[in-house]
């Protein structure tokens, strides 16, 4: 397979990802074995989502249901690819520890942990384990805090970092007033994190890759963040509109139909702001017309059922199944640019073409700047 980009592979310890693109883990049920394996087959890092997988399998809400479903999805993905696979496990999940253990037992290549600081994540690693631990952060301060905690308590250094900016879809690690603040642009956050981890790299005597995420949509975006020092990029939204994405066709079509004005910031029941496609369900929720009937499983540590306008996981799983009248879709800030559903292979080919076009344009601009006095 010819490389899609003229960029060095993403190297995380002894794991080599030839195409330095990480497909963001999207729940509930959006990125499972189908999407993750397809991305891995193109040389990228395919990522499952552990969020309420038992619900996706219609098994139930219990920890045991989720463990069985996570293991099944990892095995299904392994059966479809020889490539690298990761799993996104939110720290805020009430069964976070059990999901981590199950994923390690199945030999997942990478665990991505966000929606909170995974302060105790290395405690699950045992001798001989090859699973890489990659926190998802939104600031240089978080990188420093995590690294110090892991080194002091577990003698473990993060294998890589994902730095996610405020243009991402889903739950955001920012206050509302920071989301549109230029100081918190991904370009700035990336530089701050790179500077923060440089002395750590010098101490441990190896490179700690930093993966840029949040609003990255085109091949030109990929080129820009490679140029800024990112070892790889993470993309979520654009992978939704693919044939292999595990969500219902109606969910994917919501992205294709989405306009810029349809995208907005909501306050999620889990206590964080999030970016979503605003629809009738969310408008009704804002007017107080939605109330969770019950809470069969306390899936999110920070969720307060009595104060919640709706059950976040029920809303997300309904949307994933195509029932958008009973739920909604998270989306990145550039989601309105999605205009068709394609195969994962075709998407990578398009990104590669966009990347090459950006390279040619950059070279022309360099030549022009050189010859014009």
Q: What is the pLDDT of residues 98-149, one digit of tens each?
A: 999 999 999 999 999 998 899 999 999 988 899 999 999 999 999 999 999 9
Does the global pTM surpass 0.85?
yes
In a domain, 150, yes or no: yes
Partnered with residue 357 across adjacent β-strands are none
In a domain, 168, yes or no: yes
Tokens standing for residue 36: 């993750």
In a domain, 132, yes or no: yes
CATH number reported for the structural domain that contains residue 242 in this entry? 3.20.20.70
Q: Is 254 helix (H, G, I), strand (E, B) or coil?
A: helix
pLDDT of residue 260: 97
What backbone phi and psi angles, to 5 degrees, belong to 255?
-70, -45
pLDDT of residue 361: 78
Q: What is the DSSP secondary structure assignment for residue 122, as one 8-state letter?
A: G
Tokens standing for residue 7: 């960029």
In a domain, 339, yes or no: no
Question: Is the distance from CB of 281 to CB of 290 less than 8 angstroms?
Answer: yes
- Mean pLDDT within 52-66: 78
**Average pLDDT value for the chain:** 91
Q: Give the model's confidence band at 364: pLDDT under 50 very low, under 70 low, under 90 confident, else very high.
A: low
Asked if pLDDT for residue 11 goes beyond 60, the answer is: yes
Q: What is the DSSP secondary structure assignment for residue 24, as one 8-state letter?
A: P
Instruction: Name which residue leads in pLDDT, 351 or 54.
Output: 351
The lowest-confidence range among 176-190, 230-244, 297-311 is 297-311
Tokens standing for residue 204: 């441990």
313-348: pLDDT as tens digits? 889 999 999 999 999 999 999 999 999 999 999 999
204-219: pLDDT as tens digits? 999 999 999 999 999 9
Q: Give the model's confidence band at 52: pLDDT under 50 very low, under 70 low, under 90 confident, else very high.
A: confident
Q: Give the model's confidence band at 97: pLDDT under 50 very low, under 70 low, under 90 confident, else very high.
A: very high
Q: What is the DSSP secondary structure assignment for residue 7, as one 8-state letter?
A: S
In a domain, 360, yes or no: no
Distances from the Cα of 107 to the Cαs of 74, 93, 129, 288, in angstroms?
9, 21, 8, 44
pLDDT of residue 304: 61
In a domain, 227, yes or no: yes
Q: What is the DSSP secondary structure assignment for residue 45, as one 8-state letter?
A: B
Count of domains forming the chain: 1
pLDDT of residue 199: 95
Asked if pLDDT for residue 289 goes beyond 90, the answer is: no
Q: Give the model's confidence band at 359: pLDDT under 50 very low, under 70 low, under 90 confident, else very high.
A: confident
- Mean pLDDT within 33-44: 98
pLDDT of residue 268: 84
Asked if pLDDT for residue 184 goes beyond 60, the answer is: yes
* Distance between first and last Cα of the chain: 43
Nearest-angstrom CA–CA distance, 53 and 71: 10
Name residue, tokens 């395919």: 46
In a domain, 261, yes or no: no
Nearest-angstrom CA–CA distance, 235 and 217: 7
- Mean pLDDT within 75-90: 97
Alpha-carbon Rg for the chain, nearest whole angstrom, is 20
**Which range marks the domain in which residue 206 is found?**
10-248
Pick from 50, 52, 48: nearest CA to 311? 52
Percent of the chain with pLDDT over 70: 91
Q: Is 243 helix (H, G, I), strand (E, B) or coil?
A: coil
Asked if pLDDT for residue 23 goes beyond 70, the answer is: yes
Question: Cis bond leading into 28, ω under 30°?
Answer: yes
Q: Which residues of 255-269 are buried (b: 16+ CB within 10 A; e: fewer)?
A: beebeeeebebbebb
In a domain, 262, yes or no: no
């Amino acid at each position: 397979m010819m490389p899609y980009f003229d960029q060095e592979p993403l190297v995380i310890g002894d794991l080599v990802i030839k195409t330095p693109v990480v497909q963001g883990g999207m729940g509930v049920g959006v990125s499972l074995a189908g999407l993750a394996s397809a991305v891995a087959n193109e040389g990228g890092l395919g990522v499952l989502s552990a969020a309420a997988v038992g619900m996706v399998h219609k098994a139930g809400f219990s920890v045991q249901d989720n463990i069985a479903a996570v293991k099944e999805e990892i095995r299904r993905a392994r059966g479809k690819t020889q490539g690298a696979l990761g799993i996104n496990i939110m720290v805020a999940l009430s069964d976070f520890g059990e999901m981590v253990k199950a994923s390690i037992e199945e030999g997942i290549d990478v665990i991505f942990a966000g929606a909170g600081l995974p302060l105790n994540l290395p405690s699950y690693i045992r001798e001989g384990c090859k699973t890489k631990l990659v926190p998802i952060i939104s600031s240089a301060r978080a990188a420093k805090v995590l690294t110090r905690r892991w080194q002091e308590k577990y003698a473990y250094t993060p294998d890589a970092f994902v730095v996610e900016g405020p243009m991402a879809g889903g739950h955001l690690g920012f206050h509302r007033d920071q989301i549109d603040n230029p100081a918190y642009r991904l370009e700035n956050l990336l530089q701050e994190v790179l500077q923060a981890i440089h002395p750590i790299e010098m101490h441990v005597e190896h490179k700690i890759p930093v993966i840029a995420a949040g609003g990255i949509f085109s091949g030109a975006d990929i080129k820009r963040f490679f140029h800024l020092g990112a070892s790889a990029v993470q993309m979520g939204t654009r992978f939704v509109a693919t044939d292999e994405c595990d969500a219902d066709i109606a969910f994917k079509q919501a992205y294709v139909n989405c306009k810029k004005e349809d995208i907005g910031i909501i306050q999620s029941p889990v206590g964080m702001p999030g970016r979503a496609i605003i629809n009738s369900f969310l408008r009704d929720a804002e007017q107080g017309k939605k109330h969770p009937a019950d809470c069969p499983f306390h899936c999110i540590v920070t969720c307060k059922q009595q104060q919640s306008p709706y059950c976040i996981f029920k809303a997300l799983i309904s949307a994933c199944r195509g029932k958008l009248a009973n739920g909604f879709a998270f989306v990145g800030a550039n989601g309105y640019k999605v205009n068709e559903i394609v195969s994962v292979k075709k998407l990578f080919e398009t990104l590669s073409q966009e990347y090459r076009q950006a390279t040619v344009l950059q070279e022309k601009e360099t030549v022009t700047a050189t010859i014009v006095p």
